Structures are given as structure tokens and as C-alpha cells.
Chains A and B, each alone.
Chain A
Amino acid sequence: MLPPNVSSADFNRAIAAWKQAVGADWVFTSDEDVALYRDAYSPWWDEPDERKASAAVAPYTVEQVQAVVRTANQYRIPLYAISTGRNLAYGGSAPVYSGSVVLDLKRMNRVLEVSERNAYALVEPGVSYFDLHEHITKQKLDVWVDPPDPGWGSVIGNALDGGGGWTAFPFRDHFGAHCGMEVVLANGEIVRTGMGALGNSKTWQHNRWGYGPWVDGLFRQGNMGVVTKMGFHLMPRPEAMQTATVQGAREEDIIPLLDTMNLLENQLAVNGSTSLFGGMRIPGMPGSGAAMWTLQLPIYGPEKVVRAQMEYCREKFAKVPGATFTEGELFRTPLDEATLNRVRKVSFGVPDLSTFGMLGRNPQNPAPPGGHIGFSPIIPRTGEAVLEYLRFYTSNLQAVSEGGTLRFVGPVFMTNWDRSLVAMIMFPIGRDKVMNAKMRAAFEKWVHLAAERGWAEYRAPAGFQDLCAKTYSYNNHALTRFRETIKDAVDPNGILSPGRYGVWPKHLRKGR
């Protein structure tokens, strides 16, 4: 496969230049090697529209990244940068624009610094949560990482795609917790953001804002540069953690329950990753018993403070008629191995892969498809919005699921960020192409139906990024046009991740 609009002569010249720059062993062109960059959960698996790479290049240093980008610019070859490339459910390591060359940064896996005193880390893109956790453990540093469910992902890649984890605020909002970046621009130039722009900076990971307009947001779900270093604030190991479970029996209870939970979170009296179950009886989920709603509120901090905050939470929920409040076990950290083996490890800053085991076949999930994609609209954090979303879901379910024959999973309400909820519906993707086509059609329908209500995604699978970007249509798509103006200015040949999150360079915009 050739990159689109690139002659084989030019492609061969570029391949030769890349081999020169990174070493012949790290330029992949054989079909079997390039196939490794396919999206394992692609809803177009083995169909003509499946997004595929034409080759892959794996540099080891930032200078090599610069050389690769410059060559791509010379021959106008689209690149798609990945860190560990395990963006499963959102596109894996396959490019958004088929035929792009994957710029695989896995080999750049150095933990450059971890400061315990100021609780931050500076890492390269290939550093996974497992790697950073191992480094911290070996160095006996008293800070935690905040892993997403799969611990094998990249600290940088996850943040750049808008991912999140499961410990305390503000660390579990991974992009929000970053502090300073190093970026290779499309012309090969290196930019450092925030305090890193100082020639002799001593505060790159200490202060995220720096001086003047803040540009870091351009690289979140963006395609304006290749990120080669990134700083992150880490949580000092909290002394203790305790979770309260609150339940309500009636449908309308969700309104005061959520208002109370919001207040506690917005006051930071509850700082852990809260959860909300219920409204629909999903087998096996908490909240599917007698209670209509179940909220879980974890609190991290010094033991005395956790106990005081727990008491405060109890008082607040006592004012909600009918609510029951149960204090969970208080965990003192670090956990011993036996305790760690019976808790959800990621909530204690320990990366693992148990989430994949849970996706497997079990009595609650007798026919798992293996793959899935997620429809993740953001809705307001109010009980009224939850009830409206559930009514919306149930009233459309019959039609969109073809009379219940398409087995979606959800909605699952995720409280990743304060002041909003992610109301996720999962679409199974398997080997059956006919079923996959139906799932794609259903996904599109949910996107349109949700957009009519003013709800849109925070993150989308690669093949649906255009569709979702189009729902952000205020003032004739002014935001998209603004992003395109910036894209055309910083990447005039449109070589960096064309189409990522719906931002296309000028020459590829026609007809979209």
C-alpha cells in the first residue's frame, strides 16, 4: 500500500531516508509487520474501509523524530504518531487517514525524572503505566501513578487522547494533570511549552502555565505536533482511602443524591473517582438489587482527614430522605499483597490488565464479542439529566437495536470529571461483518439522536471522529474552522495525523 497521492518513487526515497535516520531495522514495510498496526477492535475489520497504515517508522531519539518528520514533509507523506498504540476502543494504533505511515514512539521509553519532593514526572511517549510504576517502586519513591484500566498504555498517549484514571482528583484527569511538553512541529522544529520555553528552565514541571497564550491544548486530541516529552503531576501516596456507599430506592431520589455528591466533590470533601450505578437493571452491576441508585464515594488522604470527611459526607446524605449511607473498609497504604489482590488495583495506583479478563465470557456476559467501541457523550451532572438520558435511551433502544437484536451494553454513567457525566454505551465488535455493519449504523444513529438533545462525545473511535466533530456545529462550525486555520498555518502540507478528531488539512477537506 502506498500513502495517498505519493508516487512509489517518492515513497521509496522517503523509506531510504528514514532507514538512514533511524536504522533499517526500525522501518517496517512488509505486509506482516505493517499489519501489526491494525486496530484489533476495528468495526471495519477485514472490510475495504478498514483504516490501515502503509508503513511504520520507530525512532529512538527526538533528533530522529525531527529527521522523520522533515522527510515526510519533503515528500508530503502523512504520518500518524502513536506512543504505545493501544488505543483500543478508540482506534488502536491504526491511522485515522488510511495509508499514513505510523510514527511509532514505543522505543522512546525513558523515564527522565521523577521528583518525590515536588511530586512530578517527566517521561517519553513509550513509557507505559507499568514502566512508570516499576520505576517509582524500584526507586522507593512515595508517589503514585494514576493508571487507566489497562496498565499497558502510554502515560503520554492516554493523556493526549483525553483519557482518565481512577484515583484522586486532579490526578485522574490525565491531560489536566500534565505540566509542560516538548513537541516536534511539522517543520521539524522543537517547541517546549510552559516554563520549558525558558532557555535554562528550572521549573518546567513546576508551573504549567508559563507566560503568554497557553498552547498545550492544541496537542490534546490534536494533530499540530508530535509530543516527545511530557511532564505530569503525581499524587503523593495518600495515607488512607475509604469509600462510602449511598443508596436511594426511588427514581426521583437521584436528584438530591447527585446534588449532594456534586457538592461534596466540588468542595473536594470527596476527591476519589465516584461512581453512579442504577436507573436500569444491568445484571451484575452494583445498584441492580433492591436499591434504584447506588453511589460510591472514595476519599483519599491522611487517615484523620478521611475519617472527618467521611463524617461530613454522612451528615450531608442524612438530609436526603430515604438515603442509606454505609462506610466501607478503611485502607491504610501501602497495601500488603493480600489486600491488593482483593481490591481494584488501579484505585490504589497499581497498574494491571484485569479489565480484559472481565470483558471475557461469564454468566453475566454469555456472548462477549471480544472487541467494542464506546459512545461516550457528556451530559450534565444532575439527576434530571440522568433521568432524561435514561428515558432517551429506553425510548430509542427498540428502534436503534433492531428490536433488541443488537446487544449494546449500557448506559454506564462515569463521573470522570467534575460537573459532568459520561453516559457511555458500548457497542460490541466481533468477527461477524454483518453485525459489525449494524453496530456502525447504530453508533451513527446514537450520535445524531444525542446531538439533537445537546449531548456530544468527549472522545470517539477513529472511524467516527468526523461524525462526532460535526456535531460541534455552533456558529457554522466556527470552532472547527478556527482549528483548521491553525492546522494550515503550522502544518501547511498537512502531514501530521490528518483527520484526527475531525481536523483535516486544506488539501483533504474537500467533500468532507
Chain B
Amino acid sequence: MTTRRAFLQIATAAATPVALGGIPGINPRTGHHIVLFEDSQPQAGAFALRAQSQGFATRAIRHGDITEAWLKSVRPAWERRPASIAGLTTPAALFCFEELAFARGLRVVFHAEHILLPDGSAQHQVQRAGHALSASALQRAGSRWPQRLADSLAASRLPRMARPGPSLASLEPALPAGATLLTSWIIA
């Protein structure tokens, strides 16, 4: 059985942190190329700040439109070699990156949903657990869940992750009135 991943040796190399030392834009500890975040959501901004402090290159996405990030950052990087990316974005942004990633043999290996309620609290659901982060760990972090998410991203080791099929990013869940949905993810 051929898997798309198997032949993409380059991608496998990209997924091994040790192999990445010295490649510009890629965090040498984790192998992630870049971290993307939804500019219009403060929680995503907090996540990005923390990710920057962990050594990640970050890039803003405005209102779910990934065009600039895709054309100026991710596509040129993937033309060199398929490298992992991560984000805290709208579901639409994840869906777009996921579609584009398929063609390069990359998959959504971690996918969590964060329901931002009108009272300022958040509920978390991990749809696809690609690393040790659980919904309850995020819940315990309270309002600092974005920072917790960034920390766990920095600690993740890609080779342990499974190589599954499509995520559920294209179809949204029903939400309580006035709630907003953010989604965190790793594509590798």
C-alpha cells in the first residue's frame, strides 16, 4: 500500500527536528516552518506572541483570508520542501491550508476547536490529537489557554504523529448564540 507520505522523503526529513537545524524560518526544536494566527481575535494574538517567544516565525491572517500568507510565505517554503505549519485561525483558514497541503503530501495531524463564548470563557474540543495536549489541559489553563497551546506546540515532536485523512475543518459545528469558533492545528 502506497501512502502519499511514504514517498515524500523530503517531507519526512522536514518532520525530523534534528535534520532542520539551520533552515531559515523553521524552528529547529520542533520543525515547524511558521505559525499562523487570526489577526482579528485577541486570543489568537496572545497565542502568536507566545509562539514568537518560543522561537517561531509567525504570520497574521485577516478574517480568514489566507491568500497573502499562502503566496508570500507558505507556498514558497513548500516549493523548497514540504514543511510543517501550525496555527490558531478561523476554520476557513485551516480548511484552505489543508486543501493546499494535500497536494504536497501533508496532513492535518492536530486539530482542536475553541468555542469563544460571549461571557469571555472558552470551551475546547480536541478533534484530532496529534500531540499530548488535551481539552482538559486547555480548560485548566483558563484564560491563558492560548499561551498553553503555544507551549504545547513548541514541545510537540512531529514524528510521533499519525498520518490521517481529511479533518473536519470544512464543516462547522453548531455553536451557542453569540459564540465564535477558532481552531488550532498542525499540518505536517
Contacts and interface: CB of A to CB of B under 8 A. Distances in A.
Contact of B92 (A25, A33, A352, A360): A360
Given A38-B165, A38-B166, A353 B173 contact: no
B7 to A, nearest CB: 4
Interface residues on B, range: 35 or more
B135 to A, nearest CB: 17
A133 to B, nearest CB: 10
A432 B172 CA distance: 9
A152 B90 contact: no
B67 A353 contact: yes
- Interface majority SS (helix, strand, loop, mixed), chain B: loop
Nearest to B91: A370
Interface string A28-42: 111111011010110
A353 B1 contact: no
Interface in A1-40: 24-25, 27-33, 35-36, 38, 40
B66 interface: yes
Contacts of B92: 356-357, 359-360, 370
Interface string B55-68: 00000001111110
B55 to A, nearest CB: 28
Interface in B150-188: 163-166, 168-175, 177-178, 180-181
Contacts, number: 114
A380 interface: no
Which of B65, B90, B102, B172 has the most C-beta atoms of chain A within 10 angstroms of its own C-beta? B172
A360 B90 contact: yes
Interface stretch (A163-171, A173-181, A361-369): A361-369
Interface residues of A, number: 42
Nearest to B69: A353
Contacts of A370: 91-92, 95, 169-172
Contacts of A431: 168, 171-174
Given A40-B99, A356-B96, A360-B90, A368 B172 contact: yes
A357 B2 contact: no
A412 B166 CA distance: 31
Interface of B: 1-4, 6-7, 62-67, 70-71, 90-93, 95-96, 99-100, 102-103, 107, 163-166, 168-175, 177-178, 180-181
11 contacts: A30-B2, A33-B2, A40-B166, A130-B71, A345-B67, A352-B65, A353-B96, A357-B66, A358-B63, A360-B64, A361-B172
